[in-house]
Structure 1
């Protein structure tokens, strides 16, 4: 497989969902900052564009059926249903589960790793941002997007607000990855520590893909 060198990061992920994990590995934003080429995204980063393209092109053929589902082929109600069922549903389970786990690890191991207390604070901020965000989408934004009588100007305002909230969530995710040292577990880390790091990384993965769908598949239908 040969990828288009002029495509944006977001376009590559939209065409090939499995590319998301490669960009995530290299901490390249394919959501709110995805409207840049790979060459632009690699500036000031420890990865060269040619090397990143080689990794992408080696990875994508292995994805196989993983790229079979193309969200662009879904109608707007179907796409919204996918977002709500897959991503909102995940958050409604993961966030309450992670809260006491993050508090426990910070309490037990905070003396060994002083980053755990700010990591807990960051997670708490992230939860406080995400839970009302998805509630508002389901109550207000999504019904407006499928309503035939919606005011286009009002929709654009709602979508602009969604995008700003996504940027704030992206910054919190980046801080979480930094404070967790890339979700690594020290040698002395207990099982709870290992589970927390694995679940925080899974949360990052799901939220990034969730935001990508809204920013680059759903939003362009209306803006």
Structure 2
């Protein structure tokens, strides 16, 4: 059954606000990744270089080894801080996406089975948010795993290569995220007027 005007307005406002909040957080994540990835690659390569030098002097010159180990940790710190911040952003995205999905389910229950929502942009946005969240969660999980291999005493050249690779979103996912963010800036109509009485 169609929604009463006040219920229609509630869902329209609530869903639009949640979509804007989610896309703002996704944009924050994406912008941080785009801006900081080159510098993080530099830091990872610096860890590799310093760790190799540290291994050479370890057991021969303990003071130099300790200084190099300390420099490795200094180079590692921005990587750790970046991944930690990205994980916090993804956690916030997850909360907002869950709220968006909950409102979608409540709307569907209120409308009843007779009303078709499949052609509504709401369904498309729900799908886009779920996919974007999954991509960000996967990337941060891989980066977290990679970061464990960047510790000075463990780092191998393959770990640097893997970290650099995981810092880059695939072209397909990057395009989908950027397109969705651009669409969201236009504040799309999520609910057709036909749903209101």
Q: Give the TM bin, normalised by the shorter chain.
A: 0.3 to 0.5
Q: Which protein shows a greater Rg?
A: 2
- Greater helix share, 1 or 2? 2
